[in-house]
Amino acid sequence: MSNILVLVETALNGEPAASTAGLIAAASQLGTPVAVHVAMPGTGGQHAATLGHWGAEHVYVCETDQTDRLLVTPQVLALETAVRNMEPAAVLVANSSTGREAGARLALRVGGGLLTDVVGVRVDDGRIVTAHSVFGGSYDLDASAQYGLPVITVRQGAIGDRAEPANYESTTVPLEIEPANSVVITAAHETAENSTRPALRGAKKVISGGRGMGSKDGFQLVERLADTLGAAIGASRAAVDAGYVPQHHQVGQTGITVAPDLYFALGISGAIQHRAGMQTAKTIIAINKDADAPIFGIADLGIVGDVSTIVPRLIEELESQAR
């Protein structure tokens, strides 16, 4: 099978970002996943086991002491080096700010075809085909690169699958960087949310509330149900705009894309921009007092009724079962 390169994005402490697991899973649907990891000299091997556990069959470590000094350039060079040495059939990066820039610059350097904001990948008749959800989820379309190496940016959270752990092999190469034309990082701070709840991105269960929760106090029902189920909290844009919950909980076209096993939509109408961020959830449960709300069109289970009466009863029932 052909090699498929995956760019490993890292946190400030050098740990691979969890989104890499979804990229590796996507790569495993196309060929042999090769994780390309930029690391400080002597440290790259520390995370190889994690990447192998996520399904990387080869961990390609590019070591440079410029890792946390230069913005994106090390990642571009690492991918270019890996492309020259591993002759991949495609390159996958996250559709993050780093991934988009690294992907575009790589495509330019290697004469590749850039496919952006992809929500699914497959091989069709020997050709790599990417799935896109466009115009706020109004249309699904397929695309493929007509020539050159496909460089694919994958929407974060769109691929919730995980690959089987792999018996990986590992290669470490030094990366020679000419910093003259690079953007230099002068300071970086990680902002951490102080919460015991699961992070929305990548969560297996998400409880989302919309304008129908009525108020910031009413939104507490979303939080209570989330805590009962050990779920992350999501929201519609209307709930965010109304100040019920901070913006980083917004699900949808201009928020976060999620693909959990279970998604609750409480008092959410199901506007197309909201659906764009959650419609690939495996099971969708909607509670809405309007039987004609569009959310019921994609729900696996729909309950027509008032959230303020149904949700407390649901929490009570779940708590009594847990006792």
Residue 156 interacts with ligand FAD (CB under 6 A): yes or no: no
Judged by beta carbon, residue 122 or residue 216, the one nearer ligand FAD is 216
Residue 290 interacts with ligand FAD (CB under 6 A): yes or no: yes
Phi, psi of 61 (to 5 degrees): -95, 125
Contacts 24+ apart (CB under 8 A), 195-201: 197/226, 197/227, 197/231, 197/232, 197/233, 198/230, 198/231, 198/232, 199/232, 200/232, 200/233, 200/234, 200/248, 200/249, 200/251, 200/256, 200/258, 201/18, 201/19, 201/156, 201/157, 201/256, 201/258
Region from 11-19, 113-121, 143-151, 262-270 binding ligand FAD, contact rule CB under 6 A: 262-270
Residue from 76, 271, 284, 285 binding ligand FAD (CB under 6 A): 271
Phi, psi of 101 (to 5 degrees): -70, -45
Binders of ligand FAD in range 192-251 (CB under 6 A): 210-212, 236-239, 250-251
List, in order, residues 6 or more apart from 166 with CB less than 8 Å away. 33, 52, 55, 56, 57
Region from 87-95, 146-154, 169-177, 302-310 binding ligand FAD, contact rule CB under 6 A: 302-310
Contact 179, 69 (CB under 8 A): yes
Question: How far apart, in whole angstroms, are the C-alpha atoms of residue 12 and residue 9?
Answer: 10
Q: What's the closest the beta carbon of residue 286 comes to ligand FAD, in angstroms? A: 9
Judged by beta carbon, residue 144 or residue 309, the one nearer ligand FAD is 309
Judged by beta carbon, residue 205 or residue 237, the one nearer ligand FAD is 237
Question: How far apart, in whole angstroms, are the C-alpha atoms of residue 112 and residue 123?
Answer: 18
Judged by beta carbon, residue 47 or residue 211, the one nearer ligand FAD is 211
Q: What's the closest the beta carbon of residue 60 comes to ligand FAD, in angstroms? A: 35
Number of residues that bind ligand FAD (CB under 6 A): 28
Q: In terms of Cα–Cα distance, which of 72, 78, 39, 63 is closest to 182?
A: 72
Residue from 22, 255, 260, 302 binding ligand FAD (CB under 6 A): 255
DSSP 180-233: GGSPBP----------SSPPSTT-SEEEEE-GGG-STTTTHHHHHHHHHHT-EE
Q: In terms of Cα–Cα distance, which of 27, 50, 28 is closest to 37?
A: 50
- Helix, strand, coil content of the chain in percent (nearest 5): 30, 30, 40
Residue from 123, 273, 298, 315 binding ligand FAD (CB under 6 A): 273
Which helix (DSSP H) or strand (DSSP E) does residue 305 occupy? none
Residue 268 interacts with ligand FAD (CB under 6 A): yes or no: yes
Judged by beta carbon, residue 43 or residue 309, the one nearer ligand FAD is 309
Residue 306 interacts with ligand FAD (CB under 6 A): yes or no: yes
Residue 50 interacts with ligand FAD (CB under 6 A): yes or no: no
Q: What's the closest the beta carbon of residue 214 comes to ligand FAD, in angstroms? A: 6
Region from 21-29, 32-40, 119-127, 303-311 binding ligand FAD, contact rule CB under 6 A: 303-311
Judged by beta carbon, residue 87 or residue 290, the one nearer ligand FAD is 290
Judged by beta carbon, residue 71 or residue 310, the one nearer ligand FAD is 310
What residue ranges bind ligand FAD (CB under 6 A)?
A: 210-212, 236-239, 250-255, 267-269, 271, 273-274, 277, 287-290, 293, 306-308
